[in-house]
Amino acid sequence: MKAKNSFLIIIALVLTLALSSCSTQEEKSTEQSSNSEKVTYTCPMHPEVTSDIADKCPKCGMELVQNEAHEHEAHEHDMDNDTMKME
């Protein structure tokens, strides 16, 4: 009887540790991915000018602004036959 209870307690501890380590690993990976995003700066007038530091645009002298992280989705355009006329 003691052996059976000891075995069940050990199994319960192993399962608890396994489940808690899985959730901790997931939290760490999401923190790392959000910290690993690189911040870039660009000129409002010259979008081709980019930099890793907040500085001034070499073309016009404006302050570079931080780029917003955008998740690009597919663009959908509703086009009908009138729009796509070929002449």
Per-residue pLDDT of the chain (87 residues; tens, 9 = 90+): 788 889 999 999 988 888 877 665 555 555 555 555 688 999 999 999 999 999 999 999 999 999 876 555 566 666 666 666 666
Residue 79 domain flag: no
Q: Do 60 and 48 meet the contact criterion of CB atoms below 8 Å apart?
A: no
For residue 26, the model assigns a pLDDT of: 54
A 10 A CB-CB count for 57 gives 18
Identify the domain containing residue 12 by its residue range: 2-26+37-66
Q: What pTM did the predictor assign?
A: 0.39
For residue 17, the model assigns a pLDDT of: 83
Residue 15 domain flag: yes
Residue 82 domain flag: no
Residue 77 domain flag: no
For residue 21, the model assigns a pLDDT of: 74
